[in-house]
Structure formats: C-alpha cells, structure tokens
Structure 1
C-alpha cells in the first residue's frame, strides 16, 4: 500500500504541476504580463509547486525531515541525475553568465541554508523571509539583465496559451491544485509508511525516493530533448530550479511553519547538505577544465556516478 501511495502521489504531482503551469501561463497572458517575465518567474514558481506542497504538507504533519530531504535531495538530483544523464547523451554548452551570476547565487543560497540550520537547528520564519526576499532580488536582477540580452531562450513558454479561454484556465487551475494537494498528501503518507516498512528514516526516503520522483519531469524533458538532438537543457534553468527549491520552497514553508532539524537524523547537517554544496561547487571546475564552457560525456559520467554513490550511502 505504501508503494502505491508513493507512485500515485508522484503521478498526481506530475499531472497537477503540468496543469498548474499551463493555467498560470495562460492567466499571465490574460493579465498582459510579458513573455520574458512569465518564463523567468511564473513558470519557475509553478514548476516548484510540487516540491512546495510536499514540503509544506510534511512540515504541517510535523515531519520536517521530509521537507529538508525533499529539497536537499532534489538539488542533488538536478545536478547529479538530470544534468549527468543529459550530458552523457549529448554534451552541453554553458553560457558565461552561469558563473558570473547564477552559480554565485546558488552557492549563496546553499550556504545561507546551511548556516541558518546549523545556528540553532531551526529554519525560522524570519530566516525564511530572508531567503524568499533574496529570491525576489535575484529575479529582479535576472529580468533586468535578460531584457538587455538577445540570447534569452523562452521556448518553454507556449504562446498558444494566450488564446485559451477563461473557463479552461479555471478548470486547469482546479485540476492543478487538486492534483498537487492530494498528490502531496498521498506521497507524504506513503513515504512515512514505506520508511517504517523498510526500516529506514523518513529523511532517507525523502532525500532519495521523493527527490528522484519530483525530479522525474525535468529528467524526462531533458532526455527527450537530448535524444532529439535539440539543445537538451539550459544549465541556468537547473541552477534556477535549485535556487527556487531553497528560497521559495523552504523559504515559504518556514514562513508558514518553522522547519526543525530532527536530532535523530544528524546526517542532514553532517553529510547530506555538504553533498548538495559539493555538487553545486564542482560545476565551475567542470566548465573550465579541460574543455572550457562545455559539460561533456565524461563529466556527465562522473556526475551520475557520484549521484549513485550518494544514493547508496543515503540508504545504508
């Protein structure tokens, strides 16, 4: 039953997230919001909704381990799993803006999360506000810089959604929110039952099974694009997703209910958060050595291999 709940919950999150993205984009066009702003804010927030709902549901249920494990595991999976597999299929070109702006912001958010948690083992409402307003500042600068750039890629914003009727948008919103609500409830309940049945912690399940599950849409889209020999994935989008996971998912969740580090899972602060920071840090040496501004197949193999090692250690 626990595995069914996990699978069903993940499926509902994927469906709910997809409908929410489409509804949000369609609504944004109705409100005359520019395509640039839609792509860099609305889509990003909507695609973070599954992680947000799972983390919020877990925090309200008093299982902060799942909130933290979901985000830490997803950030590791975005780089080790998604980026690793995609680079194995096709080498990825890296924009210079990556290490000038996006990467430093990801590192700042990662270290801020570590110090906030290490300070008193709690991510407080005030610290959540700091993370969230930091995200708002990041987005303002990002949009300003992008307005000056002719290389902005907004293919993920479907202009056909500008013609969608108000009735369809409302139906999509209802389906999206229902899918996210019930999906997050089933996933958290299933994860708790699975952890008890297998004899490992809620945190270990969240940092592996749940994190991989919430990264499946990104992985599927990236692999399909790579197999079609299209520009498979923007490294900036993955980095942006990691920043959103910390600043919006944990930020907003902690504003509603402070997130407490469970003393029974010391690996959150002793090892796993360093895996997250390590995966983020290694990207700069990877894009500079030996072939500059490219993540090729060998680097993809190394990232994926490191991710498999992380999963093995997390489930021990």
Structure 2
C-alpha cells in the first residue's frame, strides 16, 4: 500500500515538474526571442503554441526512449479525447462556450486533416498496421511546418502593420528596460530540466502501475498519462470559464489536439518507430467520433451548452471505465 502511495506521489510530482517546466521554458524563451527582435507573431505561432503540447511531448519522448511506444501513442490519443470530452465538457458546464467562426473555418479542418494523416499512417495501407515509421513521422513534422506557415500568412494578411509595428516597438522598448539575461536563461534551463525530470518520474510511475497491476501499457497511456498531461488545459479552461472567457478554450483545445498529433507523434516516430496495441487503434475511432460530435454540436448550435457539457463529461468517464 505504501509503495503504491509512494509511486502515486512521484507521479504527481512528475506532472507538476512537467507542467511548470513547460511554463518556464515558454516564458523565458518568449522573452529572449522578443529581446532579440523576433516578431511577436512568430513567437506566438512557435514557442507559445508548442507550449501547450510540451508536457505530452516530454512524456511521450521519455516513454519512447524506454521502448514503451504504447504509452507514447496512447498519451496523444488519450489527451486529444480528454481535451474534447473533459476539458471542453467541464468548461461548458461552468459557462456555455460560444463559437468563433474562425475556429470552424480554419482550425477544425486542420484538426481533421492531422487526424486523417495519423489514422492513415497507423493503418494497414501505408504500414504493417499498428505502427508508424520514421518517414511517416517526418511527414507529420512537415505538415506541422505547413500548418504554422498557413496560419502565419493568415495573421500577417489581416493585421495593420503600422499600428502593430508601433505597438511592438513600445513593447520591445519596455522589455529591454526590464530584461534580465540571467533570469530568463535560468527559466529556460530550469524549464528544460523540469520537463526532463518530470517526464522521467511520470513514465517510471506509469511503468510501475503496468508491472504491479498487469496493465496494458497503451491503456495506461490513454488514461493515467493522458489525463495527467491534460490537467493544464483543464485548469486554464476552467479558470477562463469562471472569468467569462470560455470562448478561448475551444480554439486552444483544437490547436492543442492538432499539435499533439503533428508534433508529438512526429518527433516520437522520428526518434524510434512507434508500435502500439489494438486498444489504442480502437481508441482512434473514439477520437474521431468525439471530434465529429464536437463539430456537429458547433455547427448546429453555434455554442456548447451545459447539457452537451454534461454529456461529454459522462461520456469521458464511461470511456475510461470501458478501457478498464
């Protein structure tokens, strides 16, 4: 009993280090980039966007390096399911989420495109089945670059350069007056350290549960690790809902789901080809179904209601019970 409690505490510490490490890395990196003159739009589309998927990336990479590819893939699929059903469900229960038209026009098609690539690569047509090769991971990373370039072009096309340049000059002037190299370098290095140590503790804890209770590693990735790495989104989205800013949760979740597939799976597969169990492949279908449900709900009602939120949260816990 004490051993189980001990490893549970280690898992909790690992998740805290993962999440805070990602925050420190993004904060320090963004300030250094801004100080060096990198445009705000580039910082937003790279560092800040990557930040939402850094916990998943850290955990998945650590799992891959320990030859636990099932945890790695399960983490991404499970996180995407948790982001939609749990994060958006809880947020819409707190306060119904109105829909930004741009989310429907641009971000949802991108998410489905990423999922289509994921399922196609993992299926029997382009591989031996239940496996993602290095070259497929490379293509996912190329798709990520195309995704970033596409959004950068849209944002740059719609902005007023004169006003934004003036604002950025003022912000950069203020930043240079308050900037401290040692503090921001410490944030970046501390963030990297937190992600490395946090992912190590989290995955070692997961391996303990797998061996102690004879669990399937893919199921642990789909549930324990996925839920843990989705806690930051759940926390920030819930706080946003209480502040009557729940609308931003939808775009953040959809963007995070796209990044999880293209970046986390892409990087992990390039490092070591990914193999996984039938439980994970069947959860691909769950991921697609909940994404379709979300899209239909948005198109029909132009918002996520409290009733839909309750249905989503109940569906998530039913899915967890089904896996176990």
TM-score by length of 1: 0.90
RMSD: 1.8
Q: Is the 8 A contact 2:138 2:266 kept in 1?
A: yes
Find out whether 1:279 has 2:290 as its counterpart: yes
Q: Is the 8 A contact 2:56 2:229 kept in 1?
A: yes
Find out whether 1:170 has 2:175 as its counterpart: no
Find the residue that maps to 1:135 and give its secondary structure.
helix
Query: What is the CA distance between 1:164 and its match in structure 2?
Result: 3.1
Find the residue that maps to 2:215 and give its secondary structure.
coil
C-alpha separation in 1, matches of 2:84 and 2:15: 20
Q: Is the 8 A contact 1:91 1:297 kept in 2?
A: yes
Greater helix content: 2
Q: Is the 8 A contact 2:219 2:280 kept in 1?
A: no
- Once the two structures are superposed, what CA deviation does each residue of 1:40-63 show, in whole Å capped at 9, x if it has no partner? 221111332221111111111110
In structure 1, stretches of 5+ residues that fail to align are: 152-158
C-alpha separation in 2, matches of 1:287 and 1:231: 14
Name the counterpart of 1:268: 280
Q: Is the 8 A contact 1:89 1:227 kept in 2?
A: yes
- Once the two structures are superposed, what CA deviation does each residue of 1:13-39 show, in whole Å capped at 9, x if it has no partner? 112111111112112212212222222
1:32-181 matches, within 5 Å, as 32-119=37-124, 120=128, 121-149=130-158, 163-181=178-196
Query: What is the CA distance between 1:161 and its match in structure 2?
Result: 6.5
Q: Is the 8 A contact 2:131 2:273 kept in 1?
A: yes
C-alpha separation in 2, matches of 1:32 and 1:300: 42
C-alpha separation in 2, matches of 1:161 and 1:267: 49
Q: Is the 8 A contact 1:71 1:246 kept in 2?
A: yes
Q: Is the 8 A contact 1:124 1:255 kept in 2?
A: yes
Find the residue that maps to 2:297 and give its secondary structure.
helix
C-alpha separation in 2, matches of 1:23 and 1:50: 16
Name the counterpart of 1:7: 12
Name the counterpart of 2:3: none
Q: How many residues align?
A: 302
C-alpha separation in 2, matches of 1:28 and 1:311: 41
Name the counterpart of 2:164: none
C-alpha separation in 2, matches of 1:14 and 1:234: 18
Regions of 4+ moved over 6 Å: 159-162
In structure 2, stretches of 5+ residues that fail to align are: 1-5, 161-170
- Once the two structures are superposed, what CA deviation does each residue of 1:98-152 show, in whole Å capped at 9, x if it has no partner? 222211111111121112111323211110111111111111111111233469x
Q: Is the 8 A contact 1:22 1:161 kept in 2?
A: no
Q: Is the 8 A contact 1:56 1:253 kept in 2?
A: yes
Find out whether 1:187 has 2:199 as its counterpart: no
